[in-house]
Structure 1
């Protein structure tokens, strides 16, 4: 079987818009992407948000659903939609994991905790899910309930946590149930790059009562004072508003983020084993911290197969015959390349939410910079090293398919630093140029797309820094043989995999509901 080799670049956070105000991509010098966007028949603009990636209509896309949809070649209703539907049809509170959690709390310490990101960003969590959990816990007869509030500031404006905190306070007051026990920024509680020093601060606040104790005044006022001191939501240092609300031995805790990647570390620390045993603490020191034991920790979705002993409120759907699985089924070699921040996206998510490495699949993880707190301080990140790895893989002629992620536009865009995001986009364009040259030298077809928008909108309507994703479409580019043309100039992320398979000369499985955009 003659297979045409292909490389797919997924740029993170590279949307398409004609608006130039606050557009870091338009401001950047990007000769490669600019030239490719002008090639007749090989440039299209495809949808990457809302229903087209299985999210609620109008919701901005994100890296998880973007890579999942690209790799699966179909639209799968995401966990957010599945959870919302269960709320709408009245089955949410009867999920076995929740029923068991409420029962354990009632028969044990009579204390329930809810931990998660509190916003309406819809990327990692949604505030309405917290409200439903509070109602369900009260209806189940659990005596006490405490909220551990993780502030957003990345998928929402950077100083908007006061709005969401007030909503929670108003809701619990009306419900006459529930207390906000702790508040902290996602910088501490939602790390995904094994920066255990950050997770430790969240851990010690939630479980050991160590943090800034706010003895008087309203929680909202406390946050406003933090804003005045220069802190923003993402970086809010841990605060304790109710000393009795920290997690005690025997308590039950439900994590309500539905997205897995940024919950794995905090759940490992709380629900599996604190990683700090070998990070500078002796067992005796941990005991002196009064770390609670015999906890019942519940995952909202399956955060990690290694956490299989922890109950799951919304178990995963299976997804078969993804792009990677089709390649593997033909005994062809493939490589998945990304830096640490986006490694899960080109492996776990791209492969349909599956951890297992496929036959003949090689995975390459390039370390993301660790010497900086935020990536605007290192705006090129490790994009050059990712390009090195991809070019080496192409030159080896070992692989029929290579997928890589280029992270800087999204990760630097999330900082709100416009100038440094311009630098990130330029570095990304340079990396694309190098990969393009390698593909041309080896008769390999290069495809370029993005998982969602971000860097093209860096200012909100008031002119303030915008750190969240967008609902803009993204590019889909095909390079190489000039005889290869798109039959249409619009589509969705679900159409990427079928198109690539057709160009490679591989069959498109019936499980893929996306359509090839190739003119044949």
Structure 2
């Protein structure tokens, strides 16, 4: 890789270029569920009047998802922002591989299924929904049906309940759909296919960034050991847990184990095979380690069953997590961080735990580590382990302090930051907390604006996808959906709305104007950042949002 070439008429600002990603802050319709519009945000309002402003696509094909009805998410969003191009993402790669049959023709699938005895089980673990962010229920159905076609006698499904990328209390709909498929196969008379265990995605199994390993331990005990509260059916489990904790949403439901004649139906034992069918990596890595790494010491796994394990994808290539996988991950190369490193640009990446991996690993094209140790600093502020609606400000102030220190001391030329508030709090469905979360980010931006002014830097403020901008469900015509009591239905998932982009040049010396682009996406932020630093973007990057006058 060659260093970037300097622009002839602009060599970069006196101060740093700061790329601020307001996670989950999209542009809504200004209706009752639009907490971004409702929030008091004088600094974003000021930027709107004093910056170049554009709206960007952050969903569907603009970020490598199968179609434009698919929500964006932080993983694919940061891949697109950091790489400057759009790569086919896990959802699309897995969909294509399953539909073409390539998955079932591969050596890993054949190894997992071909070694099973009649007494052993094929287990599927994953998020049971059609959110298409971490998984899709249709992929699970295709895997189950293929197992039946091959004559595999016993299948066990360990269901992680969503309520985050889909409506907050929709679990029973997905359980019903799954039970219908399992019953259809069982009615053939020679198969034993059933749900074995489950629980909410934020209570068991799907931790990320080493934030809460007890979640993984609870998942291990539930799925592998068959230890947990026993129920006859998953439906009974969900209904009982909801009745005992009024207002609880699916992602927070406690673990449950399905039993038959007083015995768990699906502990994972010697000779079994296990497939993790989530395709998104961040919340799949830790449970994969639990199955794959004999030296893992994060919790006591007890006797580890001798099984075969694979992920639907490889979630971390450098560390080979997991060792076996069914579909190859996207091959993302020549990312912005590497170009800046070989060009001698000093970089800072900062966020709190929940989004730290996004401004580092995902931003760098699913690559761990730095490109240049002497030029890059990565700072992680430890997230609080409390419900986000209880502290919607999260670690915004602490993140901002790190950036201010860098700006004031001229430590870095390019700073990228993720404020997680709009997304993490948005997923709770608590409207007041979401409003406060947006106002927190605005307050932090106000402090950064003053620092950028003092140093004559450039500030780019944007988002990776929407969330806080649409907290009520709407129909195709944009009308609010109502529940049986006539109240608006809460929405905790991402949105299909565009995201904002403010480009503020404190000195005005760059002489930028908005480029005439149609349907620009967040992948154009890389070329934009590179131009703001005074370099020519790589020729294969999606075009910059700005050009020189």
| TM-score bracket for this pair, using the shorter chain length | over 0.9
In structure 2, the residue matched to 1:68 is 79
Q: Is residue 321–residue 509 contact of structure 1 (8 Å, CA) maintained in 2?
A: no
Matches within 5 A, 1:121-160: 121-160=131-170
Matches within 5 A, 1:354-503: 354-359=367-372, 360-370=375-385, 372=386, 374-460=387-473, 461-462=481-482, 463-480=488-505, 481-482=507-508, 483-488=511-516, 491-503=520-532
Q: Is residue 120–residue 271 contact of structure 2 (8 Å, CA) maintained in 1?
A: no
**2:313 aligned with 1:301, yes or no?**
yes
Quote the Cα distance in structure 2 between the aligned partners of 1:161 and 1:222. Answer: 11
**2:183 aligned with 1:170, yes or no?**
no
**2:546 aligned with 1:518, yes or no?**
yes
Q: Is residue 320–residue 511 contact of structure 1 (8 Å, CA) maintained in 2?
A: no
In structure 2, the residue matched to 1:190 is 206
Closer, same or farther in 2 for the Cα pair 1:499/1:278, shift >3 Å? Answer: closer
Q: Secondary structure of 1:468's partner?
A: coil
TM-score computed with the length of structure 1 as normaliser? 0.93
Choose the corresponding residue for 1:509, options 528, 532, 538.
538
**2:248 aligned with 1:247, yes or no?**
no
In structure 2, the residue matched to 1:257 is 278
Q: Secondary structure of 1:37's partner?
A: helix
Matches within 5 A, 1:283-302: 287=302, 291-302=303-314
**2:102 aligned with 1:85, yes or no?**
no
Q: Is residue 528–residue 546 contact of structure 2 (8 Å, CA) maintained in 1?
A: yes
Q: Secondary structure of 1:313's partner?
A: strand
Closer, same or farther in 2 for the Cα pair 1:429/1:309, shift >3 Å? Answer: closer
Quote the Cα distance in structure 1 between the aligned partners of 2:91 and 2:266. Answer: 28
Unmatched runs of 5 consecutive residues or more in structure 2: 1-5, 474-480, 483-487
Instruction: Give 1:3 deviation, angstroms.
Output: 3.8
Closer, same or farther in 2 for the Cα pair 1:248/1:442, shift >3 Å? Answer: same
Quote the Cα distance in structure 1 between the aligned partners of 2:256 and 2:528. Answer: 50
1:436-488 Cα distance to aligned partner (Å, 9 max, x none): 22122112111111000000111122212211100000001100144322124
In structure 2, the residue matched to 1:117 is 127
Instruction: Give 1:138 deviation, angstroms.
Output: 2.3
Quote the Cα distance in structure 2 between the aligned partners of 1:126 and 1:274. Answer: 31
Closer, same or farther in 2 for the Cα pair 1:318/1:411, shift >3 Å? Answer: same
Instruction: Give 1:228 deviation, angstroms.
Output: 2.3
Q: Is residue 110–residue 142 contact of structure 1 (8 Å, CA) maintained in 2?
A: no
Quote the Cα distance in structure 1 between the aligned partners of 2:274 and 2:221. Answer: 15
Quote the Cα distance in structure 2 between the aligned partners of 1:484 and 1:309. Answer: 46
In structure 2, the residue matched to 1:342 is 355
Instruction: Give 1:246 deviation, angstroms.
Output: 1.2
**2:253 aligned with 1:236, yes or no?**
yes
Number of residues of Structure 1 aligned to a counterpart in Structure 2 = 504
Quote the Cα distance in structure 1 between the aligned partners of 2:121 and 2:29. Answer: 53
Instruction: Give 1:354 deviation, angstroms.
Output: 0.9
Q: Secondary structure of 1:128's partner?
A: helix
Q: Is residue 128–residue 161 contact of structure 2 (8 Å, CA) maintained in 1?
A: yes
Closer, same or farther in 2 for the Cα pair 1:274/1:170, shift >3 Å? Answer: farther
Q: Secondary structure of 1:299's partner?
A: strand
Instruction: Give 1:109 deviation, angstroms.
Output: 5.7
1:357-390 Cα distance to aligned partner (Å, 9 max, x none): 11122100011112x1x10011100011111111
1:472-518 Cα distance to aligned partner (Å, 9 max, x none): 00001100144322124762111111112122222222332x11121
Q: Is residue 422–residue 468 contact of structure 2 (8 Å, CA) maintained in 1?
A: yes
Instruction: Give 1:203 deviation, angstroms.
Output: 1.1
Closer, same or farther in 2 for the Cα pair 1:309/1:420, shift >3 Å? Answer: closer
Quote the Cα distance in structure 2 between the aligned partners of 1:491 and 1:357. Answer: 29
**2:53 aligned with 1:43, yes or no?**
yes
Q: Is residue 208–residue 246 contact of structure 1 (8 Å, CA) maintained in 2?
A: yes
Which structure: greater helix fraction? 1
Q: Is residue 197–residue 226 contact of structure 2 (8 Å, CA) maintained in 1?
A: no
Larger displacement relative to structure 2 (406-415 or 170-179): 170-179
Larger displacement relative to structure 2 (424-433 or 502-511): 502-511
Q: Is residue 28–residue 36 contact of structure 2 (8 Å, CA) maintained in 1?
A: no
Q: Secondary structure of 1:422's partner?
A: helix
TM-score computed with the length of structure 2 as normaliser? 0.88
Q: Secondary structure of 2:275's partner?
A: strand
Q: Aligned-residue CA RMSD in angstroms?
A: 1.9
In structure 2, the residue matched to 1:314 is 327
Q: Is residue 268–residue 274 contact of structure 1 (8 Å, CA) maintained in 2?
A: no
Q: Secondary structure of 2:512's partner?
A: coil
